[in-house]
Amino acid sequence: MSGPKIGDSFPEGVTFSYVPYTPEKDSITACGIPINYDASKEWANKKVVLFSVPGAFTPGCSVRHLPGFIDNLEKIKGKGVDIVAVIAYNDAFVMNAWSKANGVKNDDILFLSDVGTKFSQTIGWTMGERTARYALIIDHGKITYAEKEASGGDVSVSGADAVLSKL
Protein backbone atom coordinates (compact mmCIF):
# COMPACT_ATOMS: atom_id res chain seq x y z
CA MET A 1 0.00 0.00 0.00
CA SER A 2 1.27 3.48 -0.84
CA GLY A 3 -0.14 5.01 2.33
CA PRO A 4 -3.20 7.04 3.19
CA LYS A 5 -4.29 9.89 0.96
CA ILE A 6 -6.00 13.19 1.69
CA GLY A 7 -9.74 12.56 1.78
CA ASP A 8 -9.43 8.93 2.88
CA SER A 9 -11.42 7.86 5.91
CA PHE A 10 -9.48 6.90 9.00
CA PRO A 11 -9.79 3.09 9.15
CA GLU A 12 -12.29 1.32 11.39
CA GLY A 13 -11.06 -0.97 14.14
CA VAL A 14 -7.78 0.85 14.90
CA THR A 15 -6.75 0.01 18.45
CA PHE A 16 -3.58 0.99 20.25
CA SER A 17 -2.27 -0.03 23.66
CA TYR A 18 -2.02 2.76 26.21
CA VAL A 19 -1.30 3.48 29.86
CA PRO A 20 -3.50 6.44 30.93
CA TYR A 21 -1.85 9.15 32.99
CA THR A 22 -2.71 9.23 36.70
CA PRO A 23 -1.11 11.49 39.32
CA GLU A 24 -0.43 8.57 41.65
CA LYS A 25 1.65 6.89 38.91
CA ASP A 26 3.56 10.10 38.11
CA SER A 27 7.03 8.69 38.80
CA ILE A 28 8.95 7.22 35.89
CA THR A 29 9.43 4.06 37.98
CA ALA A 30 5.68 3.62 38.51
CA CYS A 31 3.41 2.35 35.80
CA GLY A 32 -0.26 1.68 35.44
CA ILE A 33 -1.92 -1.11 33.54
CA PRO A 34 -2.20 -0.84 29.74
CA ILE A 35 -5.65 -0.62 28.22
CA ASN A 36 -6.90 -0.80 24.66
CA TYR A 37 -7.45 2.61 23.11
CA ASP A 38 -10.03 2.50 20.32
CA ALA A 39 -8.70 5.30 18.14
CA SER A 40 -11.36 4.83 15.46
CA LYS A 41 -14.07 5.45 18.04
CA GLU A 42 -12.27 8.09 20.14
CA TRP A 43 -11.23 10.15 17.13
CA ALA A 44 -14.39 9.88 15.03
CA ASN A 45 -15.65 13.35 15.95
CA LYS A 46 -12.38 15.07 16.77
CA LYS A 47 -9.49 16.81 15.07
CA VAL A 48 -6.35 14.74 15.71
CA VAL A 49 -2.66 15.06 15.00
CA LEU A 50 -1.01 11.64 14.95
CA PHE A 51 2.71 11.31 14.47
CA SER A 52 4.70 8.12 14.37
CA VAL A 53 8.30 7.47 15.35
CA PRO A 54 10.47 4.38 14.83
CA GLY A 55 11.17 4.05 18.55
CA ALA A 56 10.86 5.71 21.92
CA PHE A 57 14.11 6.85 23.55
CA THR A 58 16.02 6.78 20.25
CA PRO A 59 18.16 9.82 19.37
CA GLY A 60 16.19 10.98 16.33
CA CYS A 61 12.85 10.52 18.02
CA SER A 62 13.82 11.98 21.39
CA VAL A 63 16.00 14.84 20.15
CA ARG A 64 14.58 15.88 16.76
CA HIS A 65 10.97 14.69 16.55
CA LEU A 66 9.09 14.66 19.87
CA PRO A 67 10.43 18.00 21.24
CA GLY A 68 8.85 19.96 18.38
CA PHE A 69 5.42 18.67 19.31
CA ILE A 70 5.98 19.34 23.01
CA ASP A 71 7.25 22.87 22.32
CA ASN A 72 4.41 23.66 19.88
CA LEU A 73 1.58 21.92 21.72
CA GLU A 74 -0.26 25.16 22.56
CA LYS A 75 0.02 26.38 18.95
CA ILE A 76 -1.23 23.05 17.64
CA LYS A 77 -4.16 22.97 20.08
CA GLY A 78 -4.82 26.62 19.20
CA LYS A 79 -5.57 25.49 15.64
CA GLY A 80 -8.56 23.49 16.89
CA VAL A 81 -6.78 20.19 17.47
CA ASP A 82 -8.46 18.09 20.16
CA ILE A 83 -5.86 15.32 20.47
CA VAL A 84 -2.16 15.02 19.76
CA ALA A 85 -0.87 11.45 19.79
CA VAL A 86 2.42 9.74 19.11
CA ILE A 87 2.76 6.06 18.22
CA ALA A 88 5.74 3.73 18.07
CA TYR A 89 6.26 0.00 17.92
CA ASN A 90 7.36 0.01 21.59
CA ASP A 91 5.01 -1.49 24.17
CA ALA A 92 2.69 0.66 26.29
CA PHE A 93 5.01 0.54 29.33
CA VAL A 94 7.91 1.99 27.33
CA MET A 95 5.66 4.64 25.76
CA ASN A 96 4.40 5.58 29.24
CA ALA A 97 7.95 5.93 30.55
CA TRP A 98 8.92 7.99 27.49
CA SER A 99 6.11 10.45 28.20
CA LYS A 100 7.26 10.81 31.81
CA ALA A 101 10.92 11.18 30.81
CA ASN A 102 9.86 14.10 28.62
CA GLY A 103 7.68 15.75 31.26
CA VAL A 104 4.40 15.14 29.43
CA LYS A 105 1.56 14.72 31.90
CA ASN A 106 -2.23 14.75 31.97
CA ASP A 107 -2.36 13.07 28.56
CA ASP A 108 -1.45 16.39 26.89
CA ILE A 109 0.06 14.15 24.22
CA LEU A 110 -1.10 10.54 24.10
CA PHE A 111 1.79 8.07 23.97
CA LEU A 112 0.35 4.99 22.26
CA SER A 113 1.80 1.63 21.34
CA ASP A 114 1.15 0.43 17.80
CA VAL A 115 1.16 -3.19 18.97
CA GLY A 116 2.93 -5.36 16.43
CA THR A 117 2.92 -2.30 14.13
CA LYS A 118 -0.58 -3.41 13.15
CA PHE A 119 -1.87 0.06 12.22
CA SER A 120 1.34 1.08 10.44
CA GLN A 121 1.28 -2.18 8.47
CA THR A 122 -2.37 -1.55 7.55
CA ILE A 123 -1.48 1.78 5.97
CA GLY A 124 1.77 0.42 4.51
CA TRP A 125 4.09 2.69 6.48
CA THR A 126 6.60 0.59 8.40
CA MET A 127 10.36 0.60 8.59
CA GLY A 128 11.25 -3.07 8.85
CA GLU A 129 9.81 -4.28 12.16
CA ARG A 130 9.27 -0.73 13.39
CA THR A 131 6.75 1.99 12.73
CA ALA A 132 7.94 4.44 10.08
CA ARG A 133 8.32 8.16 10.75
CA TYR A 134 5.16 9.89 9.54
CA ALA A 135 2.37 12.29 10.46
CA LEU A 136 -1.37 12.36 9.87
CA ILE A 137 -4.01 14.99 10.51
CA ILE A 138 -7.42 13.43 10.96
CA ASP A 139 -10.41 15.76 11.02
CA HIS A 140 -13.68 14.12 12.10
CA GLY A 141 -12.70 10.79 10.57
CA LYS A 142 -11.17 12.16 7.34
CA ILE A 143 -7.46 12.35 6.64
CA THR A 144 -6.48 15.91 5.73
CA TYR A 145 -2.68 15.46 5.84
CA ALA A 146 -0.58 12.33 5.39
CA GLU A 147 3.18 12.40 4.90
CA LYS A 148 5.92 9.83 5.49
CA GLU A 149 9.60 10.65 5.71
CA ALA A 150 11.70 9.40 2.81
CA SER A 151 14.40 8.36 5.28
CA GLY A 152 13.92 7.11 8.84
CA GLY A 153 16.32 9.72 10.19
CA ASP A 154 14.64 12.72 8.57
CA VAL A 155 12.22 14.94 10.45
CA SER A 156 10.71 17.29 7.90
CA VAL A 157 7.26 16.36 6.58
CA SER A 158 6.36 14.59 9.85
CA GLY A 159 7.67 17.28 12.21
CA ALA A 160 5.66 19.76 14.22
CA ASP A 161 6.44 22.69 11.91
CA ALA A 162 5.19 20.82 8.83
CA VAL A 163 2.04 19.70 10.64
CA LEU A 164 1.38 23.22 11.97
CA SER A 165 1.62 24.62 8.45
CA LYS A 166 -1.19 22.26 7.34
CA LEU A 167 -3.63 22.93 10.22
Rounded distance between C-alpha atoms, residue 62 and residue 80, angstroms:
26
Whether the Cβ atoms of residue 145 and residue 6 lie closer than 8 Å to each other: yes
Catalytic residue, chosen from 19, 50, 61, 83, is 61
Is residue 31 annotated as part of the catalytic site, yes or no?
Answer: no
Whether the Cβ atoms of residue 58 and residue 91 lie closer than 8 Å to each other: no
Q: Where are the alpha helices (DSSP H) in the chain?
A: 39-42, 59, 66-71, 73-78, 92-101, 118-123, 160-166
Active site residues: 61
